[in-house]
Amino acid sequence: MTQSPSPFNGLCAVGFLARASYALARTPVLALFAASLGAGPEAIGFCVAISTITGIFFKMPAGVVADVLGKTRTLFVGLACFAFIPFAYLLVSSYEALVVVRFFHGFATAIYGPVAMAVVVQVAGNRRGEMLSWFSSVTILGNLLGAPLGGFLLTRLSAGDATRLSHFHLIYGVVAILGLASFLLALWVLRRQTREPEGPQGRTLAGVVAQFKTGVREILLDRRVLLTSNMEGVQNLSLGALEAFLPIYAVQMAHLSAWQAGLLWGVQMVATIASKPIMGRISDRYGRQPLLFWGMWVCALPFALIPWFRDFAVLMALAAVFGLGEAVVTSSAAALVADFCREDHLGSAMGAFGTIFDIGHAAGPLLAGALIGFWGGADYRAPFGIIAGLLIIAALLFRGFMGGAGTRRN
């Protein structure tokens, strides 16, 4: 692969459309869809988490496959999931069917995510933090479009009438169109722009298994990689909880509209997009570990405060501060893991890293749903406070155990 800007620009364009599709399918529409089908807090949390659970089991294998068979081919498989699986939402009429479709839709990000990150790391050279942050920011723009668009469409479709099943089907029709657009754009752009040298021919099954084990060791036997990945995982725990229950809190507790609930999620992403490239550049120049430590605090404090307020402006401000904290953490975590890993195992390493933060992302809705259910479904203050405490504990453990651990470049 050449280090021209073309592969990077192509990945950004495709990632924007793919993430817009996925975000529209997820927040705030998914939680409200599940609630409309009769799901309680625990069931809503499970429905939101199930696609991330797919990533837990399949991101690591996807990264290994990319190292063995080529990243371009693996990218197309992931993009095909973005393109075609969303059409199954049009057949959903029960909570159980929604859970099944969400599980299979999770293959889209499980396959695409770690491979795209590995490609960006290869292109970026010594600018890993900055380029990963730019790539993430552009794809987050897709999330920024998807979340408010979902709330807006749902509000307009149900104006003057109760929300019906057909309203959700129309929105997921738009999800399918955006996913198909990302796949078609990839056929036009990425087929020419992300070509890379093929690996050795005649790979044996034993060779593939050996490479898989090597990729696992990159994560599990390196304390620095494990601790860094854990920081991203715990931060994603709070993100997953907010993703699942901020819409429910905004609509049912604060009595805001679905459109305003989408805007709350949107302002959080605006703050992340605006600050992430700057934070990535700072991490490249001055070090990543301090940013990781303090970023967890910037996430924890507004997260704990959100359920204490119902005013839309205050909730917007808290969501924005949380987005800033997310940018500080995520601008450094993946780049620091890449610093610790061998170049020829980037796909495997990014897949394993993705597995760890997906565990956190999946655990967030499940833990929040269980805690909210335990407190009777009406009190979000204690559950959100407990999750915020986990972020602080993770930050302190990171500071204590990392100590003066250095960075290895290979």
User: What does the DSSP assignment read for 28-55?
Assistant: THHHHHHHHTT--HHHHHHHHHHHHHHH
Residue 397, number of CB atoms within 10 A of its CB: 14
Report residue 61 as tokens.
């294998």
pLDDT by residue for the chain (410 residues), tens only, comes to 344 445 677 778 888 999 999 989 987 889 889 988 988 888 988 898 888 778 778 887 887 777 777 777 888 889 999 999 999 999 999 999 999 999 999 999 888 888 888 777 776 667 777 778 888 888 878 877 887 888 888 888 877 666 688 889 999 999 999 999 999 988 887 665 445 544 444 455 566 667 666 666 665 677 777 788 888 889 989 998 998 889 889 988 899 988 888 888 888 878 888 888 888 888 888 788 888 999 999 999 999 999 999 999 999 999 999 999 998 998 888 788 777 766 666 666 677 777 777 788 778 888 988 998 888 777 899 999 999 999 999 999 998 888 655 444 44
CATH architecture of 5-401: Up-down Bundle (1.20)
Q: For the whole prediction, is pTM greater than 0.85?
A: no
Report residue 162 as tokens.
């109760």
User: For 222-227, which contacts have Cβ atoms below 8 Å and span 24 or more sequence positions?
Assistant: 222/340, 223/401, 223/405, 224/336, 224/340, 224/402, 224/405, 225/337, 225/340, 225/341, 225/349, 225/353, 226/356, 227/397, 227/398, 227/401, 227/402
Euclidean distance between CA atoms 283 and 104, whole angstroms = 36
